[in-house]
């Protein structure tokens, strides 16, 4: 309950997660049938990068700060274009002030008529802010509840047979990877036609390998890992990279995600930065 994402909004991990999230949603919305999205750890949805929290860490300068001066229409940025357009739109709507859209805001802007979004946020200060953000949007429901609990309570969705479950916990608990493994298995049992997207930190490799092996041993199939490491993951006290594990990914996500990660490496990385698109377990 102590974690506040405002301190980290717009950093390299956010950029990677959000650019891939938009790519994933674009693929899911190619079909006309409606989708339902569950964001289990939603945050406040919109972040003021000039505010005291973001300025305290200034992490955003090495993330979205490196991309803000670029024209989204440049051919070299085409894999990031849809996401960057939304970022620019949000800034323009706030008269040029540096407001950064989190996952609920990005998802809400990509919903079509008939699509729905359920956001879960239980932090006592963040939840009212998120509720105010979507108070006039009938397609978005905000729940003041634990995100893992919502997987049982809100799945399968009542409004669609297709959709996405986004899990992005703060990793404050030592057993967070174990909780995520259980959540993925439960979510796929309750919503077998849905896509699961799970963000995870990469400090060193052992916890990630254990996470993957737990899912393999449980018989999970169709697991795609998308990773961005700023530097070799050797120091367990630092966030050296991050990943997005996709269960039941839509067709062509692996190819489109590789293009996104290649561009991000060019603008956010160093000579030590690596990206990967790897099937942990194929179909």
Catalytic residues: 168
* Closest by Cα among 105, 76, 54 to 260: 76
Measured between alpha carbons, how far is 272 from 283 in angstroms, rounded to an integer? 32
Distance CA 34, CA 52 (A): 39
Residue 191 near residue 163 (C-beta atoms within 8 A):
yes
130 alpha-carbon distance from chain centroid: 16
* DSSP symbols for 238-269: S--EEEEEEESPPTTHHHHHHHHHHHHHHHH-
Say how many C-beta atoms besides its own lie within 10 A of residue 214's C-beta: 17
Angle ∠(114,120,122) on CA atoms, nearest 5: 155
Contact 54, 47 (CB under 8 A): yes
Q: How many CA atoms lie within 13 A of 101 on its CB side?
A: 25
165: Cβ contacts below 8 Å, ≥ 6 apart: 37, 38, 40, 151, 155, 187, 191, 194, 195, 196, 197
For 148, the enclosing helix (H) or strand (E) is helix 147-154
């Amino acid at each position: 309950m102590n974690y506040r994402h405002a301190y980290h909004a717009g950093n390299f991990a956010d950029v990677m997660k959000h650019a891939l999230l938009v790519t994933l949603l674009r693929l899911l919305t190619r079909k006309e049938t409606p989708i339902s999205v569950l964001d289990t750890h939603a945050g406040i949805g919109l972040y003021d990068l000039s505010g005291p929290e973001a300025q305290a860490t200034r992490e955003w300068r090495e993330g979205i700060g490196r991309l803000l001066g670029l024209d989204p229409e440049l051919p070299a940025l085409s894999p990031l274009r849809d996401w960057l357009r939304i970022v620019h739109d949000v800034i323009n709507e706030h008269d040029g002030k540096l407001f950064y859209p989190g996952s609920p805001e990005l998802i809400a802007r990509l919903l079509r008529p008939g699509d729905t979004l359920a956001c879960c946020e239980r932090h006592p200060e963040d939840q009212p802010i998120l509720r105010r953000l979507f108070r006039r949007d009938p397609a978005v429901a905000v729940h003041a509840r634990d995100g893992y609990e919502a997987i049982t309570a809100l799945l399968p969705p009542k409004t669609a047979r297709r959709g996405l479950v986004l899990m992005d916990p703060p990793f404050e608990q030592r057993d967070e990877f174990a909780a995520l493994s259980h959540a993925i298995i439960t979510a796929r049992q309750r919503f077998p036609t849905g896509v699961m997207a799970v963000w995870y930190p990469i400090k060193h490799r052992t916890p990630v390998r254990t996470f993957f092996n737990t899912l393999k041993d449980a018989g999970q199939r169709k697991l795609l890992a998308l990773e961005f490491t700023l530097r070799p993951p050797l120091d367990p006290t630092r966030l050296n990279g991050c990943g997005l594990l996709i269960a039941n990914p839509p067709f062509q996500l692996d190819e489109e995600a590789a293009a996104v990660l290649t561009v991000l490496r060019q603008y956010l990385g160093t000579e030590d930065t690596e990206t990967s698109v790897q099937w942990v377990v194929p179909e």
